[in-house]
């Protein structure tokens, strides 16, 4: 029933507005949405955000100039979990573009440099649910304390392909290309092409 109502609504809208007109309306809405979202960040300039975006701890997030993100970006700067306090920081540089359905989560520190491109469905985290030990493994995953092995640093001019996972304590050097669906478990030197699970250097540029 719900899908039928949505279909009818879309048909009515399409009767009054052409596809190109609807795109223009969506773009104007996103401009207003970006202006409204901007005030939530610690610092942000020249945002172009597509609705919706999911924010947690926006006061710990700094965004540089000319930031562009597609729908359903999730940014989590977590300052408390199960009574434990954290000092999270997410820093995004200038001219960063993030495609649909990406998730970036920090209890420690994540830095994304200038001129970085993230394809869709990229996951970047500086933490996990619990350490890998006997005490932690006895608890349900959702009740394990958050644990960070270290910051995540993505340097300038990095291109990260679709479905990539970047795990805690990793630095990805400048000018690196990370192939689709790679799982980055260790730091990568600059000027590299990497891929696989776990990610390995395929060639040096």
Q: Could you say which of 129, 145, 149, 190 is catalytic?
A: 129
CB 166 within 8 A of CB 154: yes
Question: Any catalytic annotation for residue 103?
Answer: no
**41, 92, 100, 116 from 78: Cα distances, Å:** 14, 16, 22, 23
d(Cα 20, Cα 67) in Å, to the nearest integer? Answer: 24
User: Comparing C-alpha atoms, which of 108, 173, 99 is closest to residue 146?
Assistant: 108
User: Comparing C-alpha atoms, which of 78, 77, 103, 102 is closest to residue 90?
Assistant: 77
CB 152 within 8 A of CB 166: yes
d(Cα 132, Cα 115) in Å, to the nearest integer? Answer: 35
Enzyme catalytic residues: 129
């Amino acid at each position: 029933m719900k899908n039928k109502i949505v279909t009818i609504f879309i048909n009515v809208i399409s009767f009054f507005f052409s596809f190109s007109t609807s795109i223009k309306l969506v773009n104007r809405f996103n401009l207003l949405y970006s202006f409204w979202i901007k005030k939530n960040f610690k610092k942000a300039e020249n945002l172009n955000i597509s609705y919706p975006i999911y924010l947690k701890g926006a006061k710990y997030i700094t965004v540089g100039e000319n930031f562009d993100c597609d729908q359903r970006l999730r940014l989590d700067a977590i300052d408390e979990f199960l009574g434990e306090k954290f000092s999270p920081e997410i820093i995004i540089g200038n001219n960063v573009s993030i495609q649909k359905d990406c998730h970036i989560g920090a209890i420690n520190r994540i830095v994304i440099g200038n001129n970085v491109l993230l394809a869709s469905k990229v996951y970047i985290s500086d933490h996990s649910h619990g350490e890998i030990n006997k005490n932690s493994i006895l608890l349900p995953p959702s009740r394990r304390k958050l644990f960070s092995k270290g910051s995540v640093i993505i340097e300038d001019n990095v291109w990260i392909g679709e479905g990539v996972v970047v795990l805690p304590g990793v630095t990805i050097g400048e000018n690196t290309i990370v192939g689709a669906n790679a799982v980055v478990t260790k730091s990568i030197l600059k000027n590299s092409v990497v891929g696989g699970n776990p990610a390995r250097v395929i060639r040096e540029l």
